[in-house]
């Protein structure tokens, strides 16, 4: 009356699991390659466009600004959905499991939300420390061209002090038709508020082609190295975005997260490229900055793969949960400070921006439901296996007891 246990039954399930694990790792490696190559290519595209279209100065097409702004808003909507409807619930699930296993204490407050907020504040702190350093350098030595470009390009926060004045002066001097300042607002930050005061940047010149800067006495190698460090510091959130991809547990979720992160990062890379071209940064430096920016997310994915591979150990799963929470806090920071706050300052229609955000949100929501359906299917498959195994074990123990009782 018992089950006939064939030798192939149990190992087959193990092989399935192994194949699945390999599939996830392959998906993550593909995500690393796709993200780094696409970011690198889009970051360098503006330098190629400058050569092809012979941009001898910033001839920014006023039509491209709303398009880029709306694309950034679309990416913002995608990340907003990902943060609240995928990462936060998943984090709560992981933490609940850890609490049930007794690995972490049961708390009276929502632990997932707390860790997420810690991630948010950590990103805020990193950003502010970099700004503090750049302002200190500016006050002590006068800002170098490289520092200014980096600050304007890679920085999330906008220096709002003198922005309107600079913008109006620019519009007056150019007759408003070729609005170079649109690049400044379009990309990550505007000119230093003290830039005009210190006369390190003389933007308003009668000849539009000349943007003059005082050369910094620093050794160019030191300046470049410092520039790279600042780019790295300002790309910390990209590392956590990569980590968010690397810590996913199913193949469908890896692709989902790759889509969410790409929707934001690729547009940012293009904007960074435009800004570097507009400030006439040397090609070798542009190459170095874009490469750094392109490699940060894949490094995050790599760390995620390493951590996911060793989840058998309890400590690692706690670390995973903390890092996942930090990553979701980072995405929250990026959505509200890097995208929504900055884009609302642009002269693009607010309703169009809202529509772009909602479209981004809805598309990711649809993908999330699809990915979730696959996830449920995997779970059903797993639980079916588990139930079969339990039935087999029950049957064996029943027969053993029965046999023992008989004797």
Residues 6+ apart with CB under 8 A from 7: none
Question: Residue 242 falls within a domain, yes or no?
Answer: yes
Higher pLDDT, 147 or 25: 25
* Domain that includes residue 136, residue range: 9-384
- Domain count along the chain: 1
pLDDT per position as a tens digit, 219-231: 566 666 666 666 7
Return the SS3 of 211: coil
**In b/e form, how buried is each residue of 287-315, taking b as 16+ CB within 10 angstroms?**
bbbbbbbbbbbbbbbbbbbebbeeeeeee
Segment 29-42 mean pLDDT: 91
Is 155 a member of any domain?
yes
Nearest to 86 by CA among 275, 255, 212, 292: 255
pLDDT score, position 399:
62
- The pLDDT confidence band at residue 57, using thresholds 50, 70 and 90, is low
The dihedral over CA atoms of 372, 376, 382, 385, expressed in degrees to the nearest 10, equals: -160
The Cα 376–Cα 234 span in angstroms is 37
What mean pLDDT is reported for the chain? Answer: 70
pLDDT more than 90, % of the chain: 4
> Is the residue at 391 inside a domain?
no
pLDDT attached to residue 166: 35
175's CB contacts (< 8 A; 6+ apart) are none
Write the pLDDT tens digit of every residue in 324-381.
888 888 888 888 887 777 777 777 777 888 898 899 899 888 888 877 665 555 555 5
d(CA 88, CA 110): 11
Residues 392, 396, 401, 406, CA torsion sign: positive
Most confidently modeled range among 75-79, 228-232, 314-318, 346-350: 75-79
Report d(CA 229, CA 85) in Å as an integer.
34
Show the tokens assigned to 170. Answer: 């620019």
Q: Tell me the three-class secondary structure of 82-118, residue by residue.
A: HHHHHHHHHHHHHHHHHHHCCCCCCCCCCHHHHHHHH
Quick one: average pLDDT of 54-76?
Answer: 66
In this prediction, residues 396-405 reach a mean pLDDT of: 61
At 104-148, the pLDDT tens digits run 878 888 888 999 999 899 888 888 887 787 778 777 766 566 666
Q: Return the H-helix or E-strand segment holding 202.
A: strand 201-202
Q: 172 in a domain, yes or no?
A: yes
Answer yes or no: is 397 within a domain. no
pLDDT digits (tens, 9 = 90+) for 274-303: 777 777 778 888 888 888 888 888 998 898
> What is residue 188's DSSP assignment?
S
Quick check: is 390 in a domain? Answer: no
Cα–Cα distance, 66 to 58 (Å, whole number): 17
Percent of the chain with pLDDT over 70: 58
């Amino acid at each position: 009356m018992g089950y006939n246990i064939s030798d192939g039954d149990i190992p087959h399930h193990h092989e399935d699991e192994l194949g699945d694990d390999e599939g996830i790792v392959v998906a993550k490696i593909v995500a690393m390659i796709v993200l780094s190559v696409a970011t690198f290519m889009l970051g360098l595209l503006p330098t190629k466009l400058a050569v092809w279209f012979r941009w001898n100065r910033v001839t920014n097409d006023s039509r491209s600004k709303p398009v880029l702004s709306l694309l950034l808003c679309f990416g913002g909507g995608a990340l907003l959905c990902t943060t609240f409807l995928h990462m936060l619930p998943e984090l709560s699930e992981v933490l609940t499991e850890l609490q049930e296993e007794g690995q972490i204490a049961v708390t009276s407050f929502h632990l997932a939300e707390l860790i997420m907020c810690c991630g948010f504040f950590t990103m805020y702190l990193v950003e502010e420390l970099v700004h503090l350093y750049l302002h200190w350098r500016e006050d002590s030595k006068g800002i170098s061209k490289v520092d200014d470009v980096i600050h304007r390009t890679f920085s999330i926060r906008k220096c709002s002090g003198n922005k309107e004045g600079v913008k109006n002066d620019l519009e007056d001097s150019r007759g408003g038709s070729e609005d170079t300042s649109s690049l400044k607002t379009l990309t990550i930050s505007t000119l230093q508020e003290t830039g005009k005061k210190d006369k390190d940047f003389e933007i308003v010149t009668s000849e539009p082609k000349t943007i003059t800067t005082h050369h910094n006495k620093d050794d160019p190698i030191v300046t470049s190295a410092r520039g790279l460090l600042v780019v790295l510091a300002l790309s910390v959130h990209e590392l956590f975005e990569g980590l968010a991809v690397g810590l996913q547990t199913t193949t469908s979720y890896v692709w989902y997260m790759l889509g969410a992160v790409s929707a934001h990062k690729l547009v940012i890379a293009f904007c960074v490229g435009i800004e570097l071209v507009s400030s006439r940064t040397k090609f070798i430096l542009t190459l170095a900055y874009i490469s750094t920016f392109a490699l940060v997310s894949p490094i995050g994915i790599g760390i995620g793969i390493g951590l996911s591979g060793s989840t058998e150990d309890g400590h690692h799963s706690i670390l995973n949960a903390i890092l996942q929470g930090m990553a979701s806090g980072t995405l929250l920071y990026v959505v509200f400070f890097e995208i929504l706050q900055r884009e609302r300052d642009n002269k693009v229609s607010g309703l169009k921006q809202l529509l772009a955000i909602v479209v981004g949100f809805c598309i990711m929501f649809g993908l999330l439901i699809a990915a979730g359906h696959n996830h449920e299917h995997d779970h059903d498959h797993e639980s079916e296996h588990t139930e079969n195994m339990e039935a087999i074990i029950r049957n064996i123990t029943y027969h053993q007891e029965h046999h023992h009782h008989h004797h």
